[in-house]
Amino acid sequence: MSADPPSSFSPFDAARITKAIRQRIQSLQQAGVTSFHTSAAEQTDLSELQKQLDAIRQDGRPASSTESQTSSVNASPPLATPQTTTQVTPAAASTNSATKVIPTPSSSAPPNNSPQESTAMPSQKQTELDIVCQEVANCTACTELADTRTNTVFGVGNPDARLVFYGEAPGADEDRQGEPFVGRAGQLLNKIIEAMGLTREEIYILNTIKCRPPGNRNPTPEEQQNCAGFLQRQLEIIQPEYIVCLGAIASHSFLECKTPIGKMRGQFFHKNGIKVLCTFHPAYLLRDPNRKRDVWDDIQFLMKDMGLPVPTKSDGVS
């Protein structure tokens, strides 16, 4: 099985990045943060940084040309780090799995799992996630979604999870409860997780966007782009080894490609040191139960690579 390589990343868009930084500053301020330290241990005041960005928006230049102020702008948190995506064929993945069985996070952990970071206490990670969650709750970047949502749906699970399930967008049940995958599709996802011998408390669940699109329409590319910074920060905190993209929208959004989902499943892609598996969305399985066999094949492929015992029972997802 093969798939087209994901397309290259979008060209640098200064206006979009500036807008995203401004939104993050506003969110941080609303969360009570007034300043942060750069890698050079310099303290940067957020209100001063906001002025700099206002000036850039108005005339394309910082308010002052002093080196220190310019470096403050450059020191703002990265939002759109250039990323690389590579594909591992089933054969190669199979070969790799022979030497990469990893019952616990180990030497095959992604490069961004530095020893210093991986020893962070779960409570520290949870605290960092809580800050991002607060920013999401205050976010109004997508006007229509912000006006119509009941709750933002940040994500749920273990901040130290090895495995993240990545879905499409909140539906009516998720919007009402503020938690992803709690409707009928969520119940089927729970069965998949249980068939793996895991619980929701051991993994993490996310969506491409945090607010429900009205009428359950698909999230637009702009809405996905608006929300991408939140996803990136969640993944930087959680540092999962594996991500399972559920359905075409999640797969195409995360891997930035348009390959049919049927051609993407059954193999690993690599992005930022994370092994990415694409499979059908549980909601699709509710419409076409014959596809459960395919999803179970994908999940077994994942379990073998994760070093999890694979049950001999053939109908793991019923």
Chain residues binding ligand SF4 by CB under 6 A are 136, 139-142, 145-146, 152, 209-211, 223, 226-227
Residue 53 φ then ψ, to 5°: -70, -35
The distance of closest approach from Cβ of residue 313 to ligand SF4 in the complex, given in angstroms and rounded to an integer, is 39
The distance of closest approach from Cβ of residue 208 to ligand SF4 in the complex, given in angstroms and rounded to an integer, is 9
Q: Which is nearer to ligand SF4, 20 or 93 (CB)?
A: 20
The distance of closest approach from Cβ of residue 73 to ligand SF4 in the complex, given in angstroms and rounded to an integer, is 22
Total residues belonging to the chain: 318
Q: Which is nearer to ligand SF4, 149 or 162 (CB)?
A: 149
Q: Which is nearer to ligand SF4, 141 or 245 (CB)?
A: 141
The distance of closest approach from Cβ of residue 140 to ligand SF4 in the complex, given in angstroms and rounded to an integer, is 6
Instruction: Transcribe the chain into DSSP letters.
Output: ---PPPPPPPPP-HHHHHHHHHHHHHHHHHTT--EEE-TT--EEEHHHHHHHHHHHHHHSS-S---HHHHHHHHTSPPSS----EEEE-HHHHHHHHHH---SSS-TTS-TT--HHHHT--HHHHHHHHHHHHHHHHH--SSHHHHHH-SS----EE-TT-SEEEEES---HHHHHHT-SS-SHHHHHHHHHHHHTT--TTTSEEEES-SSPPGGGPPPPHHHHHHHHHHHHHHHHHH--SEEEEESHHHHHHHHT----HHHHSSSEEEETTEEEEEE--HHHHHH-GGGHHHHHHHHHHHHHHHTPPPPS-S----
The distance of closest approach from Cβ of residue 177 to ligand SF4 in the complex, given in angstroms and rounded to an integer, is 16
Q: Which is nearer to ligand SF4, 93 or 227 (CB)?
A: 227
Q: Which is nearer to ligand SF4, 200 or 210 (CB)?
A: 210
Q: Which is nearer to ligand SF4, 210 or 281 (CB)?
A: 210
The distance of closest approach from Cβ of residue 298 to ligand SF4 in the complex, given in angstroms and rounded to an integer, is 28
The distance of closest approach from Cβ of residue 252 to ligand SF4 in the complex, given in angstroms and rounded to an integer, is 17
Q: Which is nearer to ligand SF4, 223 or 298 (CB)?
A: 223
d(CA 310, CA 59): 60
